Amino acid sequence: MLRTPFTIPTLSRTLIDIYIRFGLIALLAVSCFEIFKPFLSLILWSMILAITMYPLQTRLKGKIFDGDGRTATLIVFVVICVILVPSCLIGVALIDSVERAMDIAKSGQVQIPLPPDSVASIPMVGQRIHDFWQLAATDFGSLAEKLAPQIKVVAVALLGTARGVGVGLLVFVAALMVAGIFMAYGELGTRSAIQIASRITTPDRGPRLTALCTATVRAVAQGVVGIAFIQMLLIGIALVLKGIPGAGLLGLVILLLGIMQLPATLITIPVIIYVFATEPVSLGSIVFAVYVFVAGLADNVLKPLLLGRGVDVPMPVVLIGALGGMVTGGVIGLFIGPVALAVGYQLFWQWVEDVPPESAEPVAHSEGGPSAG
């Protein structure tokens, strides 16, 4: 008895071909992602910086250099100098301060003034602060031995933070260099972004989504980094004029807090307490305290004005995206979060408003009641 050869139906063969192709494409996509993954953060930062600085390049193009490449190189060089010079000065000052503190601690010549009696009158914690301050002033050696384990933990944490800041600074400089390359090919990059967005959505929606993403990144850069810089100037100048120790370092901390969406009052309130604890109450100290406290709250007024500027979505959407992205993705999430939420918001409302004509007709009939007949 002869057996007929086993044949696969045409539909099954088509499904098998689809599964094989899909599997190969998924394997290729995963492989490409794993290869690209180490450079993902660098490329994202480069794109964010290029989008933020590209309007400056369009303004300077033709005024200093004619080519895009030379203009982008000049911008990147100036920005790197602006960032690296203060960072190096702050780093040198911190190293000198740490070495000086270690020398004083080793020599045992630590001179701490006795606490004033007014400290003990502070409600709830005044007596404890007074006792601790008095012990440090009279017997600093025994206090240092008692707090040695805690000091070691804090020192290790500070060293780890400093190392992280140094690595982050190097990554940021590298991202600036790559951003310069992106800006040199800005027009080509814009056309490519529009083509990709149009291919993913439709030719009508692609340019609008590209413009939305670009405007959102620039709005966050102005509304977050710009406001943090303004606060640093407002508070830093007051600290310098008042003669607060470490005013420059405190100004840098205020800038970092603003970028991380943390309130500047974490610095201004302790500074105000320090001023009233070390100086007699006067009109100058009161004016300084009021000014610094109000300047620390300036971001609450400036954010609604700058954060959603130029973006075709409500400001709360951008603000929620920035805060949520910061919590979930760190500093880079500060930019990715608003972009994702703004695009999702626009697509959702386009879907809501894009009602097919055939679905509207039955609704009209149902509103008029059942037809007679």
pLDDT digits (tens, 9 = 90+) for 205-217: 888 888 888 888 8
pLDDT digits (tens, 9 = 90+) for 226-266: 788 888 888 888 888 888 877 777 877 888 788 777 788 88
Gyration radius of the chain over CA positions: 30
Distance CA 89, CA 276 (A): 30
pLDDT digits (tens, 9 = 90+) for 284-311: 888 888 898 888 888 877 777 776 666 7
pLDDT digits (tens, 9 = 90+) for 145-163: 777 777 777 777 767 766 7
Average of pLDDT values for 176-199? Answer: 89
Angle between helices 148-184 and 40-60 (to 10 degrees): 50
pLDDT digits (tens, 9 = 90+) for 19-69: 899 999 999 999 999 999 988 888 988 988 898 888 888 888 877 777 788
Quick one: pLDDT at residue 127? Answer: 77
Contacts by residues 127-130 (CB-CB < 8 Å, ≥ 24 positions apart) = none
Distance CA 295, CA 233 (A): 10
pLDDT digits (tens, 9 = 90+) for 356-369: 666 545 544 444 44
Distance CA 232, CA 296 (A): 9
Quick one: pLDDT at residue 366? Answer: 44
Distance CA 89, CA 142 (A): 35
The overall pTM is greater than 0.75: no
> Closest by alpha carbon to 332, among 36, 48, 38?
48
